[in-house]
């Protein structure tokens, strides 16, 4: 192979060169892991959502519907909204990016919490904005509304990741009332909780809600997300998205999944039950566990370093998530698996604990 010439660094935008890549959880290439590291749904979607797949496969020669009409209609039906309040995205990550590019000029301010979904920082850095991080207290809670009048966009995940808990609703409402820019409430985990923020859409003109089918609708592999707001804001965001941002299969399966919402509800209930059981069992095993309204828990072992626990679990073919974030160096995030997977996790943790101190 001929030698490839090194490009001059000046060819690349400064903010891109200085950015670190987003670090996703591992997607192992083998199937022998219990995978509790990327908050996927452990249960397959109901079989009926695949019924029309062969018709869609036969049409892959053709471009998909650029504005995902059927998908947006199905979402509007489930969430009792009008279709023009909904923008479909290639996952909700796409929506976060579109919001950034619609509402913030490079050099302006974007705010988010000091412990939250790490993609906000990656995309904000790459877009060349000034980042303002709002500190959570030692229990990873908001202590008041987010006051940042200079922010053109505030990203707030509720339930928050990787903590799992809802942000205080009153503080969120005060944040929206006082913000001078857009507040995007990221509801990726909302179906595993008791609260939503639909009422904010009627109370405030600066709110966007993002949702995803990756977690509660078991479609992480399809990349389907939504931005929901007033038709006026959605219209502007629509100019910024890629022209065919959702492929044909994603649109088809996403539509079928939303239409089958009632069949997903027992799955959400099951995940919540397993989450509560895991929380109780981990506490018995001497972990500090954050309360969670999501399909994962953030937990800190009091008898082993979290990074060591992550390694030991991985060696025994169980993947959980360890973040090198300074606020959670002694925590692992564990996605909720099936009951059998969680039983296996607990057995393995007990074994590791016993090996470390056989008298316990």
Ligand X SMILES: Cc1ncc(COP(=O)(O)O)c(C=O)c1O
Kindly list the residues in this chain that would bind ligand X in the complex (CB under 6 A).
39, 91-93, 117, 157, 161, 186, 188, 212, 214, 220, 225
**Quick one: 95 or 148, whose CB is closer to ligand X?**
95
**Quick one: 185 or 278, whose CB is closer to ligand X?**
185
**Quick one: 120 or 200, whose CB is closer to ligand X?**
120
**Quick one: 158 or 285, whose CB is closer to ligand X?**
158
The count of other CB atoms within 10 Å of the CB of residue 308 is 13
- Kind and range of the H or E run holding 232: helix 231-240
- CA dist 192 and 271 (Å) reads 8
The count of other CB atoms within 10 Å of the CB of residue 197 is 23
Select the residue whose beta carbon is closest to ligand X and give its number. Answer: 91
For 80, left (φ over 0), alpha (ψ -120 to 50), or beta?
A: left
CB 212 to ligand X: min, Å: 3
CB 24 to ligand X: min, Å: 8
CB 343 to ligand X: min, Å: 25
**Quick one: 202 or 324, whose CB is closer to ligand X?**
324
How far from chain centre, in Å, is Cα 234? 21
Cα atoms found within 13 Å of the Cα of residue 38, Cβ hemisphere only? 14
CB 162 to ligand X: min, Å: 8
Q: Where do runs of H (alpha helix) occur along 104-142?
A: 119-126
Q: Report the candidate in 110, 111, 115 with the shortest Cα–Cα distance to residue 139.
A: 115
- CA dist 338 and 343 (Å) reads 9
CB 138 to ligand X: min, Å: 21
């Amino acid at each position: 192979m001929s030698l490839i010439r090194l490009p001059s660094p000046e060819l690349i935008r400064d903010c891109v060169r200085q950015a670190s890549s987003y670090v996703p959880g591992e997607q192992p290439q083998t199937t022998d892991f219990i995978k509790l590291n990327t908050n996927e749904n452990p249960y397959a979607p109901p079989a009926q959502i695949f019924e029309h797949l062969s018709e869609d496969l036969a049409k892959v020669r053709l471009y998909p519907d650029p504005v995902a009409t059927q998908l947006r209609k199905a979402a509007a039906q489930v969430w009792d909204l009008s279709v023009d309040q909904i923008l479909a995205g290639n996952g909700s990550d796409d929506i976060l990016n579109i919001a950034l590019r619609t509402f913030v000029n490079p050099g302006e301010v974007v705010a988010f919490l000091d412990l939250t979904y790490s993609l906000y920082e990656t995309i904000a850095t790459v877009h060349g904005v000034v980042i303002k991080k709002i500190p959570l207290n030692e229990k990873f809670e908001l202590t008041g509304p987010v006051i940042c009048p200079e922010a053109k966009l505030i990203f707030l995940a509720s339930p928050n990741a990787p903590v799992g808990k809802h942000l205080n609703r009153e503080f969120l409402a005060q944040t929206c009332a006082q913000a001078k820019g857009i507040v995007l409430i990221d509801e990726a985990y909302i179906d595993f909780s008791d609260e939503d923020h639909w009422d904010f859409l009627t109370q405030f003109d600066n709110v966007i809600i993002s949702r995803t089918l990756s977690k509660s609708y078991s479609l992480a592999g399809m990349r389907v997300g939504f931005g929901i707001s007033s038709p006026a804001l959605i219209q502007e965001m629509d100019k910024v998205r890629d022209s065919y941002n959702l492929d044909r299969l994603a649109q088809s399966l996403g539509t079928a999944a939303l239409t089958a919402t009632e069949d997903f509800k027992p799955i959400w209930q099951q995940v919540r039950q397993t989450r509560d059981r895991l929380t109780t069992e981990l506490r018995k095993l001497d972990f500090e566990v954050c309360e969670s309204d999501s399909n994962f828990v953030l937990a800190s072992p009091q008898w082993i370093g979290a990074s060591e626990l992550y390694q030991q679990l991985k060696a025994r073919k169980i993947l959980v998530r360890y973040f090198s974030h300074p606020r959670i160096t002694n925590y692992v995030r564990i996605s909720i698996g099936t009951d059998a997977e969680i039983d296996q996790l607990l057995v393995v943790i007990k074994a590791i604990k016993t090996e470390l101190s056989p008298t316990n």
